[in-house]
A and B are shown apart, each in its own frame.
Chain A
Amino acid sequence: MKKLEVDKILEKNGWKKNKIVGILQDIQDVYYYLPEDVLIYISEKLNIPLSQIYSISTFYKAFSLKPKGKYRIKICLGTACHVRGGYIISEFLKNKLKILPGETTKDELFSFETVNCLGACAIGPIVVINEKYYGQMDVEKTEKLINKLK
Chain B
Amino acid sequence: MENVEIIIDGVRKVVPKRITILKVAQELKIEIPTLCYHPAIEPYGACRLCTVEIEKNNRKMFVTSCNYPIENEIKIETNNENVIKIRKLILELLIAKVGYKGKVKEIAEKYNVEPRFGVGDDDCILCGLCVNVCKEIIGVNAISFSSRGINRDVSPPFGKEAVDCIGCGACAFLCPIGTIKIEDLNEKRIITKINANLELEKCKICGKYFVPKKFIEYIKNKIGNVELDVFLICDECKGENYIKRLASFSLTGGKNE
Which residues of A are in contact with B by a Cβ distance under 8 Å? 36, 49-55, 58-59, 65
Can you offer 27 A-B residue contacts whose CB atoms are under 8 A?
Answer: A36-B158, A49-B141, A49-B142, A49-B144, A49-B164, A50-B163, A50-B164, A51-B141, A51-B142, A51-B143, A51-B144, A51-B157, A51-B164, A52-B144, A54-B144, A54-B146, A54-B155, A54-B157, A54-B158, A55-B145, A55-B146, A58-B146, A58-B147, A58-B148, A59-B146, A59-B148, A65-B158
A54: nearest residue on chain B (CB-CB)?
B157
The docked-state distance in angstroms from the alpha carbon of A51 to that of B153 is: 13
Residues on the B chain within 8 Å of A54, using CB: 144, 146, 155, 157-158
Residues on the B chain within 8 Å of A49, using CB: 135, 140-142, 144, 164
Residues on the A chain within 8 Å of B141, using CB: 49-52
A55 and B144 in contact, given A49-B164, A50-B164 (Cβ under 8 angstroms): yes
Residues on the A chain within 8 Å of B156, using CB: 51
4 A-B pairs with least C-beta separation: A49-B141, A51-B144, A55-B144, A54-B157
The docked-state distance in angstroms from the alpha carbon of A54 to that of B158 is: 6
Residues on the B chain within 8 Å of A65, using CB: 158
Kindly provide the distance from the CB of B16 to the nearest chain A CB, expressed in whole angstroms.
33
Residues on the A chain within 8 Å of B143, using CB: 51
The docked-state distance in angstroms from the alpha carbon of A49 to that of B162 is: 11
The docked-state distance in angstroms from the alpha carbon of A36 to that of B159 is: 12
Residues on the A chain within 8 Å of B140, using CB: 49
- Known pairs A49-B142, A55-B144; list 7 more (Cβ under 8 Å): A36-B158, A49-B135, A49-B140, A51-B144, A59-B145, A59-B148, A65-B158
B162: nearest residue on chain A (CB-CB)?
A51
Kindly provide the distance from the CB of B146 to the nearest chain A CB, expressed in whole angstroms.
4
B156: nearest residue on chain A (CB-CB)?
A51
Kindly provide the distance from the CB of B181 to the nearest chain A CB, expressed in whole angstroms.
20
The docked-state distance in angstroms from the alpha carbon of A59 to that of B162 is: 19
B165: nearest residue on chain A (CB-CB)?
A51
Kindly provide the distance from the CB of B138 to the nearest chain A CB, expressed in whole angstroms.
11
Interface hub of B135, B143, B146, B164 (most chain A Cβ within 10 A)? B146
Q: Mark B149-182, 1 if CB is under 8 A from A, else 0.
A: 0000001111000111000000000000000000
Residues on the A chain within 8 Å of B144, using CB: 49, 51-52, 54-55
The docked-state distance in angstroms from the alpha carbon of A50 to that of B148 is: 18
Interface hub of B148, B155, B158, B164 (most chain A Cβ within 10 A)? B158
Within 38-73 of B, Cβ neighbours of A (below 8 Å) are at none
The docked-state distance in angstroms from the alpha carbon of A120 to that of B156 is: 39
Interface hub of A36, A50, A52, A65 (most chain B Cβ within 10 A)? A50
The docked-state distance in angstroms from the alpha carbon of A52 to that of B164 is: 12
Residues on the B chain within 8 Å of A50, using CB: 141, 157, 163-164
Q: Mark B233-254, 1 if CB is under 8 A from A, else 0.
A: 0000000000000000000000
